[in-house]
């Protein structure tokens, strides 16, 4: 019998249907998956497979048309947008392919921003941001703006920002998509390190090698449906 205490995110028979006037587009069709605490999970598939829509629902950025989503055992399928926003801020850290840093904020200020929305004091925000910048080897770049940083440095700032509120899960959407191979390997090594320290990682990717090399469990999607699930033994 599955240990329910380990289940951090559960999608149960999820469908997402977009109403385009006379046409209905089924982006996700009856998807079920789960993410256990401490796992590194990959959602894998080609363009149009439904992986981005699935990611949005795993990350509480969207709600399903059918089915339900459990986060820490709580059904979040029908929460309001404001309730979902509060939940995201506390429970989920996001890393995006395009970094999504605020251009007129420094690296340190970008990392401090999510903490501001959680009502954390300025003193604690500053201390936490500096601690995280040191963790990703960018303390000497804390006062630089995004356009003064390389792509790899920006993604490392994004990783630090995703950790600012000590979330239960890190959701990485194509985290190496805009990076060269060597820089991508550095970013993935940071994600592996976080996972070994106990963080739960969910990575969305179209790269099968990336999924196979780093993830404990890979959910393979095609045409909005779950095609197969592969697992590997931890070394």
User: How many structural domains is the chain composed of?
Assistant: 1
pLDDT digits (tens, 9 = 90+) for 15-71: 999 988 889 999 999 999 999 999 999 999 988 899 989 988 888 888 899 999 998
Instruction: Evaluate whether residue 27 is within a structural domain.
Output: no
Averaged over 141-151, what is the pLDDT? 96
| Window from 3-7, 85-89, 103-107, 219-223 with minimum mean pLDDT | 3-7
Domain CATH number, residue 116: 3.40.50.300
* Nearest of 169, 173, 130, 131 to residue 155 by alpha carbon: 173
Q: What pLDDT score was predicted for residue 74?
A: 86
Instruction: Evaluate whether residue 5 is within a structural domain.
Output: no
Averaged over 86-102, what is the pLDDT? 89
Q: What pLDDT score was predicted for residue 1?
A: 41
Instruction: Evaluate whether residue 132 is within a structural domain.
Output: yes
Name the pairing type of β-strands 66-71 and 7-20.
antiparallel
Beta-sheet strands, E only, within the chain: 7-20, 23-36, 40-44, 66-71, 74-75, 92-95, 169-173, 200-205, 217-222, 225-231
Instruction: Evaluate whether residue 209 is within a structural domain.
Output: yes
> What is the domain extent for residue 212?
38-62+78-231
Instruction: Evaluate whether residue 69 is within a structural domain.
Output: no
Averaged over 82-87, what is the pLDDT? 85
**Predicted confidence band at 5 (pLDDT cuts at 50, 70, 90)?**
low
**Cα Rg of the chain (Å, integer):** 18
Match 């899960």 to its residue by tokens.
Answer: 169
Distance CA 90, CA 87 (A): 5
229 pLDDT exceeds 70?
A: yes
Helix 151-162 and helix 107-117: axis angle, to 10°? 20
Instruction: Evaluate whether residue 72 is within a structural domain.
Output: no
Q: pTM to 2 decimals?
A: 0.89
82 pLDDT exceeds 90?
A: no
Instruction: Evaluate whether residue 178 is within a structural domain.
Output: yes
């Amino acid at each position: 019998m599955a240990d329910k205490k380990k289940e951090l995110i559960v999608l149960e028979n999820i469908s997402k249907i977009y109403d385009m006037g006379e046409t209905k587009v089924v982006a996700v069709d009856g998807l079920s998956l789960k993410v256990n605490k401490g796992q590194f999970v990959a959602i894998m598939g080609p363009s149009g497979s439904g992986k981005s829509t699935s990611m949005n629902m795993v990350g509480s950025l969207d709600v399903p048309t059918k089915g339900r989503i459990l986060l820490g055992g709580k059904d979040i399928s029908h929460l309001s947008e404001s309730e979902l926003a509060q939940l995201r801020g506390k429970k989920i850290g996001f890393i995006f392919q395009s970094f999504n840093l605020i251009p007129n904020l420094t690296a340190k200020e970008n990392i401090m921003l999510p903490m501001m929305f959680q009502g954390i004091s300025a003193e604690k925000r500053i201390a936490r941001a500096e601690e995280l910048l040191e963790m990703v080897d960018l303390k000497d770049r804390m006062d630089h703006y995004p356009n003064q940083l390389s792509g790899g440095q920006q993604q490392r700032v994004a990783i630090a920002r995703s950790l600012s509120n000590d979330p239960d899960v890190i959701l990485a959407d194509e985290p190496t998509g805009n990076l060269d191979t060597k820089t991508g390997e550095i970013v993935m090594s940071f994600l592996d390190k976080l996972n070994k320290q106990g963080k739960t990682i969910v990575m969305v990717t179209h790269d099968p090698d990336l999924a196979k090399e780093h993830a404990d469990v890979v959910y393979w999607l095609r045409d909005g449906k779950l095609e197969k699930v592969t697992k590997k033994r931890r070394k």
